[in-house]
A and B are shown apart, each in its own frame.
Chain A
C-alpha cells in the first residue's frame, strides 16, 4: 500500500512539473479577457478568423469572452484526463504480473495501448471543443487555429501524462514504459 501511495505522490509530482502551466492557463482563461492583454491579441492573430471577426463589427474583446470560456473548459478537461490517465497507469502498474526478470518489457505493449487510448481521448476532447457545434465560440476559430490548438494539446498533454507516469510507475514495471529504465535507481524514485 505504501508503494502505491508513494506512486501516487510521485505521479502528482510528475504531473505538476508541466501541468501547472495548464492549470495556470485554465485559470487565466476562466477569468476572461482583459482588453490590454497580449494573450487576447495573440488569440486574435493566431487562433481565430480575424478578418471575419473584424468585418462582423463586433469588438473582439466582447466575442473573446466565449472563446476564453471554451479554452478554460477544454484545458481543464484535458488536464483532468491527463491526471486521471497517469494515476490509473501508475496505480495499475503495481498490479502487473511481473514475476520474472525481463517480463516488464512485455507490458510495454499494454502501455502503448493505454497511452493510445489516452491520446485518442485527448484528440476527441479537442475535436469536441473546437469542431463540434457544442460551443458557439468554436465558430470563431480558424483552421490554422484548430490545428495549432490540436498540435499543442496533443504534445503538451502527452508530456504532462508521460512525466506523471515516468515518476509514478511501480519501480519493477518501469521497463514497460518508454525510457522508464533510464531513470536512476534511487530510493526516492
Chain B
C-alpha cells in the first residue's frame, strides 16, 4: 500500500517538475496578438426573416422579354416566377412595386401580370407613357432607408450617361455607400434572355436617340440588395432551376464591402498543409497553436529549406464576390542565440525590413517566405521567430470583367447598333458595375485574414 502511495507521489512529482520545465521555456517572444476583426461576415449567420421589397421595371422596353422569340429560350417568365416564390420563402412581408419614371406599389393581382406583355402596356396619356428610363437611383434610396430589408430589382439596367455622372451619379453612389457601410451587399445576376421588342433610348453620336427592333436576345438583370445569405440563396435557386448544366447565359457578381469570408486563425483553419509537405520532414518539426490563435511551424532547417505558405482563395474570399485585388503582409522577426527553448531567456526584435512576398493566383494566395532576404543570408546558430500577418488591402474588380462582354459604352453603341446585332448589349453596364466597385473600395477596410509564425534555426 505504502509502495503504491509512494509511486503515485513520484509520478505526480515527475509530472509537476516536467510541467515546470515546460512552463519555464520561452520558445516564443512576448507576442501581442492582433486578432483584427474576428467577426467577419457575421451577417451571413443572420437567420431572421425580414421584409422583402421586389421592384419590377415596368419601362416599355421590358416588354420584349415577355414575348417569345422563335429559336430563343425565354427564361424571363420562369425567373420572375421563381423570384416571387423565393421572396415568399425568405421574407416575412413581401412588398411588390413597379418602377419606370416613378415607383408605384403593386396590387397582388398585378404581380402575376409581370410575366405578361400586358403589364408593360401603358393606357395613360402619351406623356405619362413616356416610360423609357428607369429611376433605379430611387430604389437605392429606399434600400438605404430600409437597410434591414432585402430589395430585389428586376430590370434591363441600361443607364444613360447622365445617370452616371454629376449629381445623378451621386444619387446612386451615396445610397450604395451607405448600404455597403452597413455591411450589406449587392448581388447582380445577369441573364441573357430571348427578346422580342423595342430597345429605345439608344444614344447616337449626333445626340439623338433611336430605337432598335432587331434584337433577338438581350440580358436582363436581377439586383439583390441585402445580406449575403439572401443574395446567395436567390442566386443559387436561379442557377439550380435554370443554369445547372450550362452557365453561358448567366453572370453573377457580388459587390460587398466585406469580400473576406473569415479570419483563418479564429476558426483555427491554418494547418501543417499550408506549408510545403517537405517542411514536416525537417528536423524537430512541430506544428502547434499559441493561445488557440497563432499557428507556429517550428523546425530546424538549412539554408535551402523551402518556405511557401499557401491559402486557398475559397477559404478567405466570399464566392462570387469581387474578391481582393491587393494583399499585404506585415512581418516581425525576433532572434536569440539560444537554440534550445529551455535555454532561451529573452528574444531580441530584429529589423530586417521586408523579407517575403505575397502573390495571388487563380486558386491560391502564396506567401513566399524569405524571397527578399533569402535564408542564405541569415546566420546559423541563431533561432529566428518570424511572424506574418496577412491583410486584404483592396477589393478586386473581377465583376467588371465578368460583365464587360455584355456591356456597351454610349460612345460605341451607335456603331454597335449599325452592325444590326442579334444579341443586344446593355448600355453602360460596365460603368455601373465600376461605380459599384468604386463604392465597395471606398467602404472596404483593411482586413486581417491570417497570421502565422515560423520558429526555426538553421544548420549547415
Contacts and interface: CB of A to CB of B under 8 A. Distances in A.
A86 B352 CA distance: 48
Nearest to A134: B460
A62 B336 CA distance: 9
Contacts of B337: 58, 62-63
B343 to A, nearest CB: 12
Interface stretch (A14-22, A49-57, A73-81): A49-57
B105 interface: no
A54 B379 CA distance: 12
Contacts, number: 44
A57 B348 contact: yes
A55 B377 CA distance: 12
B121 interface: no
28 contacts: A54-B351, A55-B351, A55-B353, A56-B348, A56-B379, A56-B382, A57-B333, A57-B335, A57-B348, A57-B349, A57-B350, A57-B351, A58-B337, A58-B348, A58-B350, A59-B348, A62-B337, A63-B337, A63-B379, A63-B382, A66-B381, A133-B380, A133-B460, A136-B381, A137-B381, A139-B380, A139-B381, A140-B379
Interface string A62-88: 110010000000000000000000000
Interface residues of A, number: 16
Q: Which label, helix, strand, loop or mixed, suits the secondary structure of the B interface?
A: loop
Nearest to B336: A58
A52 B335 CA distance: 12
A56 B350 contact: yes
Interface string B373-409: 0000111111000000000000000000000000000
B334 interface: yes
A10 to B, nearest CB: 43
Contacts of B334: 57
Nearest to B333: A57
Interface in A170-188: none
Given A57-B351, A59-B348, A62-B337, A52 B377 contact: yes
Contacts of B336: 58
B379 A136 contact: yes
A57 B347 CA distance: 9
Contacts of B352: 55-56
A83 B380 CA distance: 33
